[in-house]
Amino acid sequence: MEPEIRAGIAERDLLYIGGAWVEPAGHERLAVVDPAREKAFGHAPAGTASDVDRAVRAAREASVSWAATDPAARADALSAIADGIERRVEEIAALITREMGMPLAQSRMFQAGLAALDFRTAAGVATTIDWEEPLGNSLLVRDPVGVVGCITPWNYPLHQLAAKAAAAIAAGCTVVIKPSELTPLDALMLAEICEEVGLPAGVFNIVTGTGPTVGEALVTHPGVDMISFTGSTRAGARVQELAARRVKPVALELGGKSASVLLDDADLDAAVTAGVQGCFINSGQTCSALTRMVVPRRLLDEVEQRIVALVDDVRVGDPFDPETTLGPLAGPAQRDRVAGFVDGALDAGTRLLAGGPSAASGLPKTGFYAPPTVFTDVAPDSTLAQEEVFGPVLAVISYDGGDEEAVALANDSDYGLSGAVWSADPARALAAARRIRTGQVSVNNAAYNPLAPFGGVKRSGHGRELGPHGIIEFTTLKAIQQ
């Protein structure tokens, strides 16, 4: 049975600014659409530049006292927020499933669960950072950068918000957050938790609204000292362009076209299973998704057989159905974008291994669904191999040479966010991983490390989130000679 979403969570009229729930300056509202049902189930305020100004002024007023707060006290506040998220895991997971369509069981783990982990980890790290250290006759001091504008995406809305806000708050910064207009409700729920635990007024502020209005006002506001943005490469370039006018630092976590590299001694059962899952998680709407699988040509037939069997087991449907493993895409624009990539690959003569056009797939008639789709023998320079689809579409690329060719194929991308390497020889896998130009690489499906920095190179952006490096990202280094 689908969990009921309380009206007080789904229908929002107020913004959270300066530790209080306040009326927005305008009267327009954002409709929040359930992508499985194609109809609105909630609303949030469409904020204005005036609302951004109020929030920035509140954050700046709080910034001096919060920067002077002992790191241990900041850590206590972050732990309390983590406790608050954990107390409301079921409610948060259900809300985010309604907002963007991830299957409910996965939302518990990846949406609500990771958000709590982000705050918990930041709390643990905050007291371990060397905020001051001597160097010769200098004292190096890490100061908080100040007021941080956080612009967050719809695909992992609360996790990405938490990754930014928890680290910035741990560093002694105050934050003004603009969540995606597609998924604003979970951010307002987090504001409730911040209020409940007594986070000082102005440390955490939320202004919901659109990118052109609220996002651009936040980026260009003279009272904002830094911007942290997660989203598309196109939008990230716009953010960096606007911020550059004030020489404002920007951390960007953007798109990806990550490769899962199978060396010729890889455990195929494990590698193919993890590779397919790494592509299809969240219906492929993951910036670090493993959307390319690089396979030795002599193993291609075996790999293809395993992929077909795995795709046959995927269950596409209502995200509140416990049997569903692949929910809808976030909206009609995303569905049309994915369909365009699939049609383009078919028109180019690329060999279809599984899935295909939505019209022939027997998908639910209501909802923004796309079938899990795999193309094989994909040309490395093709659109499908080079561009981010952001949907459940896997490109299998084969190679005839050795490890050097496999690594070269992995690096043959304008992106560099994540990746994976598989080999029975850990040293060989590590050697390949070292040569892949990307922000993160998993060797033989190693465990997720919440302390490890996350971020990219090339068109995937710059800057790092999570762990100690994610906190340091929100500091400036001052040298005091004495």
Residue at 292: amino acid letter: R
Identify the burial level of 61 via C-beta atoms within 10 angstroms of its C-beta, where 0-12 means exposed, 13-18 middle and 19 or more buried: middle
For residue 361, the model assigns a pLDDT of 64
Extract the residue ranges of the chain whose pLDDT is less than 50: none
For residue 65, the model assigns a pLDDT of 98
The tokens describing 9, both together, are 């969570």
The tokens describing 359, both together, are 């019209």
Nearest to 367 by CA among 315, 317, 313, 324: 317
In order of start, what are the domains of the chain with their CATH numbers?
A: 7-254+460-481 (3.40.605.10), 259-449 (3.40.309.10)
**Active-site residue set:** 253, 287
pLDDT in tens, 301-319: 999 999 999 999 999 999 9
Asked whether the beta carbons of 429 and 423 are under 8 A apart, the reply is yes
d(CA 154, CA 92) in angstroms, rounded, equals 14
For residue 332, the model assigns a pLDDT of 95
- Tally: H helices and E strands in the chain: 17, 22
The DSSP bridge pattern shows strands 415-416 and 419-422 to be: unpaired
For residue 138, the model assigns a pLDDT of 98
How high does pLDDT run on average in the chain?
97
